[in-house]
Structure 1
Amino acid sequence: KAAYQRVRTPHLTKGSLYEKSGHLDHYRDAMYPSMDVDGIEYYVKPMNCPHHHKIYAARPKSYRDLPVRLSEYGTCYRYEKSGQLFGLMRVRSMQMNDAHIYCTKDQFKDEFLAVCKMYLYYFDIFGIDKYQLRLGLHDAEGLGKKYINEPELWQQTEAEVREALQEGNIDHVEISGEAAFYGPKIDVQVWSAIGKEFTLATNQVDFAIPKRFGLTFTDEGGREQTPLCIHRAPLSTHERFVGFLIEHFGGDFPLWLAPVQVAVLPVSDKVIDYARNVETTLKEAGIRVQLNGQPDKVGAKIRQAELQRINVMLIVGEKEAQDNRVALRRRFKGDLGTQLLDDVVTELKTEIETRRNTYRTN
């Protein structure tokens, strides 16, 4: 829908690429050590950005081609010290839903706001009600050290980001000294249902690196111009976001998000064939289902499904098998009676497709 081109980039790259991007100067401590391959330094990829810049530069661009939006669900590697590792929240190998948008100055505000609104759209889907957008600005004392030494560009770009947020009526706070080394950024802080704060998303403006890579486009007058670049990661790393969701929902995922959505629990081996038919029907409807065919009592099977936090249990006995029905049971709601299998499948599909955040007592 957002007109991104999906790309894939290498996991291992020459160090010269990261020298050009500035990552070796500003980010070396968070990178794995280099490896020597035929006398050339190679690094495992800490970021997708330089690779996407190379893709952009592979063909000449006109103003008619912009904006160019490149996205990658790719793996990055960062050397986190052992004391900093923390479950899914801080890992060394991570999957990033990452993208870079190359645009003209006239297109910048619309593109930047579209990314911010994409974040808000995702938060609505996942039921994230408490969040804050923080605009990270540079600190003049860090120019040439922590930040690229382009004071005028910093002032200009920060003003444009501020104007974009104001025009889009997006609430935010400003924090000095929290910019990326190449430009101002938006960090999105979210709070889980139990009140814990997470940095979940980022939206960064890059006014410097495109020039380093010689990225250009031809404007309407036939002159070469350097595009602005927006770095966008709406849901952090896959690992971190899953960790946040586990805490946010307390493991009680809404049906559409649950790893296993339905457990089929036959009362005895006499109805195992019907239970398998129920399982097949659910799978064909695109529902994630688990059949418990163990020779346990049905009460034990229900307890096991409850411990696994499976939202929906379909209990089948001889009477249900004769009438093509199931006994429906849901977490936090208990026994909901016997219903036609087709009706249950329709109801579950509707709940999944509409992404209803019904869980716990809702």
Structure 2
Amino acid sequence: MSEDLYTFENPEFRKTYWHTCSHVLAQAVKRLWPDTKLAIGPSIENGFYYDLDSTETFTGDDLTKIEAEMRKICKEKLKLERFELPRAEAIAYMEEKGEPYKVELIQDLPEDAHISFYTQGEFTDLCAGPHLDSTVRIKGNGIKLTACNAAYWRGDSSRKQLQRIYGVAFPKKDELDAYIKQVEEARKRDHNKVGRELEYFTTVDVIGQGLPILLPKGARTIQLLQRWVEDTEQAWGYQLTKTPLMAKRDLYRISGHWDHYQDGMFIMGDPNDEEKECFALRPMTCPFQYQVFLNRARSYRDLPMRLGETSTLFRNEESGEMHGLIRVRQFTISEGHLIIRPEQLEEEFKGCLDLAKYMMETMGLAEDCSYRFSQWDPNNTGKYEGNPEQWEMAQSVMKTILDDLGVEYEIGIDEAAFYGPKLDIQCKNVFGKEDTLITIQIDMLLAEKFGMEYVDTDGQKKTPYIIHRTSMGCYERTLALLLEKYAGALPTWMAPEQVRILTITDRVDDYAYELKKKFTAMGLRAEVDDRNEKIGKKIREGQLEKVPYMLIIGDKEAEDGLVAARHRAEGDLGVMSADDFAALIKEVVDTKATK
């Protein structure tokens, strides 16, 4: 790597820097615990890690020791030197070193592969590189090991459980300090922390991973979002459907899910017993919604047919993939399918994208999102339906549409659905991990498999195209991202409690409940705190619970029909009439302001 590219702002150099740090980490562990076996140690989006098989259970004190040893290695100015071995010699070399995981990795490579290694001092590792030229390039005081978690070898829960040490490193100490501060802020906003503390959701071991319990606050917020989505979709020309949560395997065989998605499904019955009925919980709604179209003969006058549904779906995710509300096994999604004539494709795709953008902008998430054009992998055709010509056509059409609409996107190879390419709208959580929030997919295959036809203007029967899409995506994941975005202080229009009325004395209780009745009649969510507590304590608790507005009621307010209003962020709003406050909050709610 040339000298002018040695800058941390260069993503490739940053990746190389962190990759070399992973080797320094492994070398430090081997020095301290020589019997440790090495697995893999890549750079990742925010640092690096190394998977290790050790009899030592690494603790926080151990990470401190490893950091110190890493700093010593950096000061030793060890050169990183690359060499290659033929496959058989490479296997023998790693067998001699007692590294079974490296041997397995080499055995998976082709016979004629060039097997490369990197040596630094007494340490040698199997690696394709690239790396820095010397450990002195790494600034020891910019290294921080951040965590140690369990990780299965090659992500397979049936294989050996290893220990994964995570780390991060920067060329300057103040950059590391800024990163640590950023991570601390992220932890404060983590929906797993905020959502549990504010009682939006909980999890219970005897129920299982990936199956969260939505508490009253969380259930109310998701209900509000769901009503908004359904009403908005109706205004955009969607028809509401409600379909079963399960179906026989026969349906999934037609759609292709049985061949391409069976491992991700919850199946009831023996999938290999053809004599008995076998059912599965639905991982997607598409094959169910197609039955609406198939209910009777259709003509071009029925198209576009926009079908929307609030769908509960089930996916058999690996236990290690579970994360709060972001990745779960049962979830609810704003799913929909548009059955269209081919010439309607671009206009309807644009409509789906416009609706998704409207949803994101209204929730305040648009600035945190990016776009990925997810395509198939022609080298992995067994994962997909259709032939190369069909995929080339579908992806070409989608590229034209995205370019015509001016969408800036990255390309994701092997990220497509098994039946077609898609536009994934990605959103990062507070820790920088990216997940799909909304997806819009073009499908030119499944309609034919289901025998879907319409009579066109020329009287001929034709096969429609289908757009699979979500308007807001998974409600649970959206709630998680909203809790993190707003640190629990959800915008007033979606907050489970919008107004809390605080009484100073029990003499004003009747007035407080009259106000609650008034606000409830307006469609607002109001509660009364009439406990025999000091008003300061009531205000502090309201602030901690992120209630958007608090109204303090004393004798004078009750006598004159007034309220002393407070906003959780803006503080004291002054004394005003109950009607003036009602008008103020109504405007905030009706405009869906993000305050």
TM range (shorter): over 0.9
Among 300, 308, 316, the alignment partner of 2:553 is 316
CA distance in 2, matches of 1:349, 1:196: 36
2:138 corresponds to: none
Q: Residue deviations 1:235-271, cap 9 Å, x none?
A: 2211111111111111111211211111100101111
CA contact (8 A) 1:193 1:249 kept: no
**Is the counterpart of residue 19 in structure 1 residue 256 in structure 2?**
no
Conserved? CA contact 2:314–2:331, under 8 Å: yes
More displaced stretch, 131-140 vs 18-27: 131-140
Assess, with a 3 A threshold, how the Cα gap between structure 1 residues 246 and 278 changes in structure 2: closer, same or farther.
same
For 1:317 and 1:181, the matched residues in 2 are separated by: 64
In the alignment, residue 267 of structure 2 is paired with which amino acid?
Answer: P
Task: Please tell me whether the aligned partners of residues 374 and 413 of structure 2 are also in contact (alpha carbons under 8 angstroms).
Answer: yes
Deviations 1:174-193 (A, max 9, x none): 22221110011111012457
Letter in 2 for 1:138: W
Written as runs of structure 1 = structure 2, the 5 A alignment for 1:139-158 is 139-143=377-381, 145-158=382-395
Q: Report the AA paired with residue 136 of structure 1.
A: S
The DSSP-based 3-state class of the residue aligned with 2:440 is: strand
Distance 2:491 2:341 in 1: 41
TM superposition shift of 1:221: 1.8
Instruction: Give ranges in structure 2 of 5+ residues lacking alignment.
Output: 1-234
2:239 is matched by which residue type in structure 1? Q
Deviations for 1:115-139, whole angstroms, at most 9, x for unmatched residues?
1111111121112213211111111
Please identify, of 233-242 and 36-45, the stretch whose mean Cα deviation from structure 2 is larger: 36-45
Secondary structure (helix, strand or coil) at the match of 1:221 reads coil
Aligned to 2:456: 219
Supply the distance in 2 between the matched residues of 1:269 and 1:77 (Cα, whole angstroms): 50
The TM-score with structure 2 as length reference comes to 0.58
From 340, 353, 365, the counterpart of 1:103: 340
Deviation at 1:195, TM superposition (A): 5.3
Structure 1 counterpart of 2:481: 244
1:345 corresponds in structure 2 to 582
Structure 1 runs (4+) deviating above 4 angstroms are: 192-196
Q: Percent identity?
A: 35
Structure 2 Cα separation of the partners of residues 333 and 175 of structure 1: 43
What is residue 93 of structure 1 aligned with on the other side? 330
SS in 1 for 2:263: helix
Residue identity opposite 2:553 in structure 1: V
Whether the 8 Å CA contact 1:63–1:217 is kept in 2: the answer is yes
Tell me what 1:188 maps to. Answer: 425
**Correspondence for 1:306:** 543
| C-alpha displacement of 1:158 | 0.8
CA–CA distance in structure 2, aligned partners of residues 194 and 75 of structure 1:
27
Residue 41 of structure 1 corresponds to which residue in structure 2?
Answer: 278
| Residues 288-299 of structure 1 mapped to structure 2, 5 A cutoff | 288-299=525-536
Cα offset for 1:173? 2.1
Deviation at 1:90, TM superposition (A): 1.4
Contact (CA 8 Å) 2:331, 2:475: kept in 1 or not?
yes
SS state at 2:556 partner? helix
8 A Cα contact 1:90 1:240, kept in partner: yes
- Alignment partner, residue 199 of structure 1: 436
Question: 8 Å contact 2:551–2:565 — kept in the other structure?
Answer: yes
Separation (CA, whole Å) in 1 of partners of 2:536 and 2:564:
13
User: What's the CA shift string for 1:314-358, capped at 9, x where partnerless?
Assistant: 010110000000111111222222111100000100111011112
Letter matched to residue 134 of structure 1: R
Residue 194 of structure 1 deviates from its aligned partner by: 7.3
Count of aligned residue pairs for this structure pair: 357
Structure 1 residue 218: Cα displacement: 1.1
From 365, 373, 382, the counterpart of 1:135: 373
Pick from 318, 335, 338: which aligns with 1:81?
Answer: 318
Name 1:70's counterpart in structure 2.
307
Residue type of the partner of 1:13?
A
- Worse-superposed segment, 183-192 or 110-119: 183-192
CA-based RMSD of the aligned residues comes to 1.6
Q: Is the 8 A contact 2:356 2:470 kept in 1?
A: no
Question: 2: distance between equivalents of 1:22 and 1:228?
Answer: 17
The 2-side partners of 1:19 and 1:328 are apart by 60
Displacement of 1:196 in angstroms is 5.2
Task: Give 1:159 shift.
Answer: 1.0
Alpha-carbon distance in 2 for matches of 1:46, 1:200: 16
Spell out the pairing of 1:251-330 with structure 2 (5 A cutoff).
251-330=488-567
Q: CA deviation at 1:55?
A: 1.6
* SS across alignment from 1:40: coil
CA drift at 1:313: 0.5
Question: Residue 72 of structure 1 contacts residue 97 of structure 1 at CA under 8 Å; is this kept in 2?
Answer: yes
Q: Give SS of 2:291's match.
A: helix
Secondary structure of the 1:251 match is coil
Write the letter of the residue equivalent to 2:372: R
The one-character-per-residue Cα deviations of 1:33-81 (angstroms, maximum 9, x if unpaired) are 2237993111112210100112211111111211111111021111122
Who is 2:472 aligned against?
A: 235
Rounded to whole Å, the distance in 1 between the matches of 2:486 and 2:407 is: 26
Can you list the C-alpha shifts for 1:273-319, whole angstroms capped at 9, x where unaligned? 01101111111111111111211111111111111110110010110
Larger mean CA deviation between 217-226 and 104-113 belongs to 217-226
CA contact (8 A) 1:194 1:248 kept: no
What is the CA–CA distance in structure 2 between the aligned matches of 1:293 and 1:195, rounded to whole Å? Answer: 42
Corresponding position: 1:5 with 2:239: yes
Higher helix share: 2
Give the Cα–Cα distance (whole angstroms) in 1 for the partners of residues 358 and 339 of structure 2: 22
Q: Post-superposition shift, 1:84?
A: 1.9
Greater RCO (Cα-Cα under 8 Å, separation 6 or more):
1
Q: Retained in 2: the 8 A contact 1:200–1:234? A: no
1:186-245 Cα distance to aligned partner (Å, 9 max, x none) = 110124577553321101111111111001111122211111111001222111111111
Match of 1:71, SS state, is strand
